[in-house]
Amino acid sequence: MKKTRKEIIRAVSFLLAVCTALWLLSIPFTVNIWQSKVTVQGVTSQPDDTLEAVYIGNSGVYRFWQSALAYQEYGITVMNFATASMPGIATEYLMEQTRKNQNVDLFIVDLRAYTDSELDGANLHNIIDYFPLSWTRFKLVTRLCLYQKYWPFEALEYYFPVLRFHSRWDELTKDDFTAAVDTTKGSYYYSDFIQTVQTEHDTFLTTENRTEPQKRAQKALNGLLDYCDENNIKVLFVAAPLLEHENQKERLNWFCDMVEARGYQAINFNSEPTYDAVGLDVSTDFMDNTHTNVYGSIKFTDWLGSYLVENYGLDDRSGLTGYESWNDAYAIYSQKIGNKPTMYFEQLAGLTD
């Protein structure tokens, strides 16, 4: 009996050691998707209780909301927690992780995360791989893998990304061993974002129709609302503007109705009054059918920032001790933007003066 116990302890210890090693190895071996890395590591490494709100979603967030600009304009500290095509089902876990060290007044959730039906493994890796090692991460991985039916064997690479990316051993660099430093608080300034203007559409189409989304997407959103109810979490739902995808707009309308019916507020930027209020211009403000470019994002940030201050009472924290990094973030962000074509720089200057 004593021998058996000893052997069991030995086996369990070995398994734990292997799991720990796999977790630790996963840190450098994960592919360096810079935007995802800086976003996830950026928001989770902010000093305690310095964020007023966190904006969760996918590219419908980080290509619209510019945190550094919002701070410069209104002194509010609202950071993105968003990765490419992040599935809405992950939102609850992002909230849980945020609440570990941030006492946020508000979560803003982009409903577009619930309307992307086509997901692949890369989308899951984007959000999972840079997530801090924690029980929340374990739950997030389990939920996402079950949601995507990556089970049981495919799930292993999400628990231990090194199993997926181990062949990178011969291309590892110093950057892989260091955490990403988000110097612009998640602001977006990449060249395509600054230089591109879509030319496919010349008008912004709106619709009042509603199409029922997939059942599993409804279930996912309902689950989030239940979680928010249980934990008394204040949430503002938004639907970032799209140029086409009529069906997706109809599903967003449906989702807005759904969250409003559950007592939450929703701002649908695809509706004509809101779109007009923001002042977006199809001919200059979109880089493609689903994302604004730098100019559109500036307008969007300006409008939503003002709305958050007025309606949710977010405080002006500019000049306060402990928020110096936000000033630096804006300086870097504006510099990055400023090095790009003059038109945008001038527009930016006009907006921020």
Partner 1 sequence: MGLVSLEYLFFLLVVFLFYFFVPQKARWVVLLAASYAFYTLCSWKYLPFIAATTLTTFYAGIIMGNIAGKARRRMADCDDRTQKKDIRAAAQAQKRLVITACFLLDFGILAVLKYYNFFASVTMSILGNGLPQLELLLPLGISFYTFQSAGYVIDVYHAKYEPDKNLAKFALFVSFFPQLIQGPISRYDQLASQLYEPHTFDVVRARSALRLMFWGYFKKCIVADKLAVLVETVFNAPAGYSGAVIAFAAVCYGIQIYADFSGGIDIIRGVAQLLGIDMEQNFNQPYFSTSLSDFWRRWHITLGNWMRTYIFYPLALSKGMTRWGRRMSEKCGRYIGKAIPLCVATLVTFLAVGVWHGAGWKYLTYGVWNGAIIALATLTGPFFQEFYKRIHFNSECRIWYCWRVLRTFLIVTIGRFFTRAADVKTALFMMGSVLSRWKGDGAFLQTVLGLGVSWKNLIVVAFGVLMMIVVGVLRERGRDIRGWFEQRPVLVQMSLELVGVIFMVIFAEYGTEYDPADFIYAVF
Q: Minimum distance from CB of 130 to partner 1 (Å)?
A: 20
Least Cβ distance, residue 78 to partner 1 (angstroms):
37
Q: Is 21 in the site for partner 1 (CB under 8 A)?
A: yes
Tell me how many degrees the CA angle 198-266-220 measures, rounded to the nearest 5.
90
Binding mask 154-193 for partner 1 (x = CB under 8 A): x-xx----xxx-xx-xx-----------------------
- Token pair, residue 289, equals 């059918």
User: Could you give the CA distance from residue 269 to residue 278 in angstroms, rounded to a whole number?
Assistant: 8
62 or 158: CB nearest partner 1: 158
Q: Report, in Å, the least distance between residue 11 CB and partner 1.
A: 9
Min dist. Cβ of residue 119 to partner 1 (A): 16
Instruction: For partner 1, give the closer residue by CB, 16 or 277.
Output: 16
Q: How far is the CB of 157 from partner 1 (least distance, A)?
A: 6
Choice from 12, 17, 277, 349 touching partner 1 (CB under 8 A)? 17
Q: What residues does 53 pair with on adjacent strands?
A: 78, 106
* Cα Rg, the chain, nearest whole Å: 21
Closest CA to 80 of 233, 353, 69, 119: 69
Of 12, 14, 200, 229, the residue at the interface with partner 1 (CB under 8 A) is 14
Enumerate the β-bridge partners of residue 108.
55, 236
The pair of three-digit structure tokens given for residue 297, joined into one six-digit string: 């994002």
**Per CB under 8 A, does 331 bind partner 1?**
no
Residues 287-316 that bind partner 1 (CB under 8 A): none
Two tokens at 247? 């069906």
Is residue 45 close enough to count as binding partner 1 by CB under 8 A? no
Is 27 a binder of partner 1 (CB under 8 A)?
no
- Retrieve residue 229's tokens: 């109810």
Only segment of 2-10, 206-214, 227-235, 253-261 that touches partner 1 (CB under 8 A): 2-10
Measured between alpha carbons, how far is 59 from 36 in angstroms, rounded to an integer? 10
**What are 111's two structure tokens?**
């409903």
- Residue 122 makes CB contacts below 8 A (sequence gap 6+) with none
CA-to-CA distance for 178 and 69, rounded, in angstroms?
Answer: 27
Cα–Cα separations (whole angstroms), residue 349 to 29, 344, 345: 41, 8, 6
Which member of 135, 149, 153, 208 binds partner 1 (CB under 8 A)? 153
Question: What value, to the nearest 5°, has the Cα angle with vertex 55 and ends 61 and 334?
Answer: 65
Concatenated DSSP letters for 93-151?
HHHHHHTTT---SEEEEEGGGGT-----HHHHHHHHTTS-SSHHHHHHHHHHHHHTT--
- Which helix (H) or strand (E) segment is 54 a member of? strand 53-57
Residue 121 Cβ vs partner 1, minimum distance, rounded to whole Å: 8
Please say which residue, 152 or 319, places its beta carbon nearer to partner 1. 152
Member of 2, 118, 149, 152 binding partner 1 (CB under 8 A): 152
Total residues interacting with partner 1, rule: CB under 8 A: 25
Q: How far is the CB of 147 from partner 1 (least distance, A)?
A: 18
CB of 41 vs partner 1, minimal distance in Å: 23
Q: Is residue 22 near partner 1 by the rule CB under 8 A?
A: yes
Residue closer to partner 1, measured from CB, 23 or 345: 23
The number of beta carbons lying within 10 Å of the beta carbon of residue 62 is 28
What is the length of the chain? 353
**Positions that interact with partner 1 (CB under 8 A):** 3-4, 7, 10, 13-14, 17-18, 21-22, 25, 29, 121, 152-154, 156-157, 162-164, 166-167, 169-170
